[in-house]
Amino acid sequence: MEPWPPVDDDRLTVELGAALWNAGGVPEEYLTAARAAFAWRTVDAELTLAELTFDSACEPAGQTRSGASVRTLSFRGGPIVLEIEVSDAGVVGQLCPAEGGRVSARTADGTYDETSVDAVGLFSLGVPPPGPVQLLAEAGGFTVATDWVCLR
């Protein structure tokens, strides 16, 4: 029986090399998870969370600013204010400051719609799918993301 650890460094190096060579490739799902985790390393420096400041669904009946078929939500993150109205026709909104920009909406499965913001800050998105949605807005050199919220 050989002593452990082996006294012969050359033999140990050969065995180690063989073990590493025969290990096989890293499974693709591990690589995907590693890349996703790595991408989040600087999220705090790049992204501001926009806080929900108003939701008409939380207002007592009769005190909402719009009809029952339209839901109004307002978010604020840093210098950006994002106001949206959700109806059966989709989402319309305004982004302030009105310097153009981009708004996208995503679900857990990925982006479901994305659009540019016009010169006065207006935009529209398609009908949101059931379940939680997060809006990402880019304007004036800032990027904000809303909390995950069920719009329908």
CATH code: domain of residue 73? 2.60.40
Q: Find all residues with CB under 8 Å of 113, minimum gap 6, and list them.
A: 104, 105, 125, 126
Q: What percent of the chain has pLDDT over 90?
A: 45
Q: Is residue 132 part of a domain?
A: yes
Mean pLDDT of 57-72: 70
Q: Is residue 2 part of a domain?
A: no
For residue 140, the model assigns a pLDDT of 76
- Per-residue pLDDT at 145 exceeds 70: yes
What is the total count of domains within the chain?
Answer: 2
pLDDT in tens, 42-58: 666 567 889 999 999 98
134 lies in the same domain as 146: yes
Residue 22, domain extent: 9-41
Q: Which residue has the tokens 């290990």?
A: 23
33 lies in the same domain as 97: no
21 lies in the same domain as 65: no
- Per-residue pLDDT at 127 exceeds 90: yes
CA atoms of 148 and 51, how far apart (whole Å): 10
Q: Is residue 124 part of a domain?
A: yes
Among 1-5, 20-24, 78-82, name the most confident range.
78-82
Beta bridge partners of 71: 86
Mean pLDDT of 57-71: 68
Mean pLDDT of 110-129: 94
Q: Are 101 and 120 in contact (CB under 8 A)?
A: no
For residue 45, the model assigns a pLDDT of 56
30 lies in the same domain as 51: no
96 lies in the same domain as 68: yes
33 lies in the same domain as 53: no
